[in-house]
Amino acid sequence: MEDPASIFPLPTTYEVPVEIPALHAAPEVHSTDASAQLPQIGGASSISDHTISVIDRMKYHLRCRTVEHVTFIYLNLGEEEANMLDQDAQYIDHDILVEASPTYARHVQKHPDRPIKVPKSITAKTVNAFSQIVSPVRAIRLPTHYLWPSKNSIPRVFDRFGAIDPEKINWSVGTLLELVAFARYMDILWMCDMAIDRLHWMFTEQSKLSEICRKKFTQNGWMNVNGRFVRVDNHLPSVPDLQDRSLSAKDFESDHLDQLFAEPVDVPTLMFVADLIFALGDESELISASQEVEQIFEAAAKTPQYSCLIGVARQYFCTRYHYHAADEACYTAYLTPTGQLLVDQAYTTESHDQLLKLSIGLAPANSLESIMYARTEDKGELQQDNSTPEMLEAEKQLLFMELQLEAAKAAMEKVRHAAKEDKCESLIAARNLLS
């Protein structure tokens, strides 16, 4: 089988000599960490296993409506993923990907009808997440679920345009580095920045918990828990939310790390990984690494622990670890459409017949419900009556109410998890949303 690298070589437009930002002076320290300025990230326990937001639902349906979608061919597809892809073509609009991916733009100029061959190291789930970040509009945060079409309706969830089967994503070191690898393969480098930011969030959250536990330790590894002394042996306690914010240097011993070492070296990502590995306490030597890679790790070894990762300004963090230039906006500054606009777009079609064709979530004309409802020989009478302008407007108003409720719930969730000194201000903001 043809090597995908021969079709999609790693990007060359960003090949630059390794340049390690000098640390002649300590970076400016801020009380607010760089990760705190990111779009809100919630712990795993705050994300539903089977429910997704109105915005994610609308974006999914808009993504599926593309006239000319990109085709992916998987060179290493597991049986479970193969079953998922029987129902889903991983929709990304051709024009959107041409604009987002310089590599894909070059590819279609030479091979207009040739699909993308996905490397063996990349799973269909990673491509699913990738498609959500790119299309139908650029995202400013990682998705919370892999989204697959469902043949069965979801209880208590009406969706005119078809049911969606969400699968909660556990963003780990492995899944994040795999996303980095595919983003580089497609030459969408701001997506690498997004993955790095999630790894940084995991590290800072773990550091906060470690510091709290350290302050509670007494002699010989005993910890005071509500007046009882518990033996913890300097390990973090077992708590439900720790899984998605727990890191160790061993997590980076993977095939995806080898891809960072490969030519051309992924300098920003590798600099972050090197600093992070040393911050996690690993001082192991590299085996068979290139001179460029060794230079990056040597610089990380000489950097004071945590100095580049904890309490630094967002601008410094972007300059050191992100792909975008200092005078270019970070991906977090990208403007995203409101939920109301996405709902309006989903309900806007060229004709009423097209709307009915897209309304696969309604009872089909040959269903028992439609047959019993019809007063004429027209079996589509129920669909027509459920798609009048008045019905469509009522559905939209209900979705707008859901958007408001989701925003209010998110605000209250933020209040519950806010630090003691921030709780009052967070509560005021939440109450303003509810009033």
Rounded average pLDDT over 208-235: 61
246 vs 394, residue with greater confidence = 394
Rounded average pLDDT over 67-73: 85
Rounded average pLDDT over 271-278: 89
Neighbours of 137 (CB within 10 A): 18
- Helices within 303-435 (DSSP H only): 314-321, 339-346, 352-358, 368-373, 381-385, 389-417, 423-434
Residue type at 161 in one-letter notation? F
CA distances from 54 to 143, 332, 346, 396, 405 (A): 13, 21, 11, 11, 10
Tell me how long the chain is.
435
Whether the pLDDT of residue 89 is over 60: the answer is no
Q: Which residues in 295-331 are b (16+ Cβ under 10 Å) and which e?
A: bbbebbeebeeeebbbbbbbebbbebbbbbeeeeebb
Whether the pLDDT of residue 2 is over 50: the answer is no
Q: Which residues pair with 116 in a beta bridge?
A: 72
pTM for the structure as a whole: 0.82
Summarize pLDDT for 403-420 with one digit per residue, the tens.
999 998 888 888 887 888
Of 91-95, 130-134, 377-381, the range with the lowest mean pLDDT is: 377-381
User: For all residues of the chain together, what is the average pLDDT?
Assistant: 80
Q: Which pLDDT score is estimated for 62? A: 95
CA–CA dist 12, 342 (Å, integer): 36
Summarize pLDDT for 289-327 with one digit per residue, the tens.
677 888 888 888 887 767 788 888 888 899 999 999 888
Residue type at 167 in one-letter notation? E
Whether the pLDDT of residue 341 is over 80: the answer is yes
Pairing of strands 164-168, 145-149: antiparallel
Instruction: Select, from the ranges 39-48, 216-225, 228-237, 289-298, the one with the highest average predicted confidence (pLDDT).
Output: 289-298
Express as a percent the part of the chain with pLDDT over 70: 75
419 vs 235, residue with greater confidence = 419
Q: Could you tell me if 232 and 213 are in contact, meaning their C-beta atoms sit under 8 angstroms apart? A: yes
Rounded average pLDDT over 255-283: 81
Confidence class for position 254, pLDDT limits 50, 70, 90: low
Confidence class for position 244, pLDDT limits 50, 70, 90: low
CA–CA dist 417, 142 (Å, integer): 20
Summarize pLDDT for 6-39 with one digit per residue, the tens.
444 444 333 333 444 444 334 444 444 566 556 6
174 vs 290, residue with greater confidence = 174
CA–CA dist 222, 389 (Å, integer): 67
55 vs 237, residue with greater confidence = 55
CA–CA dist 351, 258 (Å, integer): 52
114 vs 431, residue with greater confidence = 431
Q: Could you tell me if 88 and 149 are in contact, meaning their C-beta atoms sit under 8 angstroms apart? A: yes
Confidence class for position 240, pLDDT limits 50, 70, 90: low
171: Cβ–Cβ under 8 A, 6 or more apart, which residues? 142, 198, 244
Whether the pLDDT of residue 388 is over 90: the answer is yes
Q: Which pLDDT score is estimated for 18? A: 41
Whether the pLDDT of residue 402 is over 70: the answer is yes
Instruction: Select, from the ranges 170-179, 251-260, 353-362, 391-400, the one with the highest average predicted confidence (pLDDT).
Output: 391-400
Q: Which pLDDT score is estimated for 238? A: 54
Neighbours of 189 (CB within 10 A): 21
Q: Which pLDDT score is estimated for 349? A: 94
Rounded average pLDDT over 362-381: 79
Q: Which pLDDT score is estimated for 215? A: 63
Cβ-based burial of 52 (10 A; exposed 0-12, middle 13-18, buried ≥19): buried
CA–CA dist 364, 231 (Å, integer): 62
Question: Quick one: tokens of 167?
Answer: 């699968």
